[in-house]
Amino acid sequence: MEKVKVLFISGSLGLGHITRDIAIADHLRKLLPGIDIEWLAANPATILLIEKGERLVPGADQYANENVSAEKAAKGSSLNLISYLLKSRSIWKQNKDFFLNLIAIKKYDLVIGDETYEINLALREHPEMKKFPFVMIFDFVGLHALTMNPLERLGVYYWNRVWSHDYRLKQKPPYDLALFVGELDDVPDNSFGFMLPDRREFAKALYTFIGYVFPFDVKLFSDKQEIRKKLGYGDEPLLICSLGGTAIGKELLELCGQACNIVKEKIPDLHAVFVTGPRLSADSIDLPEGIDVKGYIPRLYEHFASCDLAIVQGGATSAFELTALRKPFIYFPLEKHSEQANVSRILSQRGAGIKLVLSKTTPEYLADQIIKNIGQNVSYPDIPSDGAHKAAQSLVQLLEKSYVRGLD
């Protein structure tokens, strides 16, 4: 096989997707040394790519940023996914046009999209432009209406019809391979909607399940004291309060700050570290004095491995990392956000984490939960953590099939 040229498009929000995409790319390079990978992504994903010395496609700064739409659609701790999708329509058109112009002038042997639904639609609408195998990465299947608002319910039904389009009409989807980050049981065993297929049957028929993808080897993070020493932490009780990679979540950190004031009355040597992430300024948050506030932290999982308790939003990446590291944690799913509702369901099935609702949680109650759970031993079941390797193997197999077809 000649040198393979790959376009890797990292979509969706925050930093979780790019961390798993880089992990998959690293394993792909181990299996295919010399593979040439170009990246297409937006801030904050580009921060990690630049740190890693990866190469962005020319003009990548023109690729529209979906995080901006999500931050505009968010109302405090609530992010209605349908509102976000409606605000993203112009962004999706811009990204579709960018992608179609890119593949018109550059030749790729493989294109990988991590939750890049607009790219999937572009290739469905312009099949004549597809000169390469295309891979989609998913971690949830369809949307759920989380309110009784008729417009939301109609929007969810429309979106789910689009999602299940190829399966219902028995057409070949635009992607040649669909990788699902997780397990079959992570997919709800219910319908997409009226007269639409069952989600789990759909996923079983179309997706390859790879387990979970982590940017680290879980086995290397069993010695908490050694990791603490490396990071400069002492022996005091350590609490990590962290947002995701967007600017959504200011209210969560402020609630944690109020709770920490109460906790310190009983645990005076508590060391609380607040991680605002790359898109939220620490100056914009009202926090008590003495709080250790940090912005973007590379390899945040090392700090998770060091802590005695973590408080996070309900995104899949942080929650599953903490589950794999067997750490006690409290999580606050974004309200009215169906993807994080599904993450909550998976965590509940695994008995992992303590779910709280931000709009219903007082500083006193959160403080009580911190005191009860900090330093507790947890025994979550094993979580399959070799997803990056399995993904890379599947990608190599697809490339080999494509290469053989090209010889015929």
Per-residue confidence (pLDDT) for residue 407, from 0 to 100? 43
What number does CATH give the domain 218-373?
Answer: 3.40.50.2000
Across 38-47, 150-159, 382-391, 394-403, least confident range:
150-159
Higher pLDDT, 74 or 224: 224
Q: Domain spans of the chain?
A: 5-214+386-407, 218-373
Q: DSSP characters for 61-125?
A: GGS--HHHHHHHH-BTTB--HHHHHHHTHHHHHHHHHHHHHHHHHS--SEEEEES-HHHHHHHHH
| pLDDT of 234 over the 90 cut | yes
Evaluate whether 5-214+386-407 and 218-373 have a shared fold.
yes
Per-residue confidence (pLDDT) for residue 85, from 0 to 100? 67
Q: Which CATH architecture has domain 5-214+386-407?
A: 3-Layer(aba) Sandwich (3.40)
**Confidence bin at 104 (pLDDT 50/70/90):** very high
**Mean pLDDT, the chain, integer:** 88
Q: Give the Cα separation of 259 and 152 in Å (integer).
A: 34
Return the half-sphere exposure (C-beta side, CA atoms, 13 A cut-off) of residue 103. 27
**Confidence bin at 373 (pLDDT 50/70/90):** very high
Q: Give the Cα separation of 5 and 147 in Å (integer).
A: 45
Sign of CA dihedral 291, 372, 322, 254: negative
Q: Within 10 A of 395 (CB to CB), how many other CB atoms are there?
A: 25
> What is the pLDDT averaged over residues 379-405?
89
Burial of 330 (0-12, 13-18, 19+ CB in 10 A): buried
**Confidence bin at 87 (pLDDT 50/70/90):** low
Q: What pTM was estimated for this model as a whole?
A: 0.90
| pLDDT of 30 over the 70 cut | yes
Percent of the chain scoring above 90 in pLDDT = 61
> What is the pLDDT averaged over residues 231-256?
87
Structure tokens at 69: 């739409």
Cβ(55)–Cβ(38) under 8 Å? Answer: yes
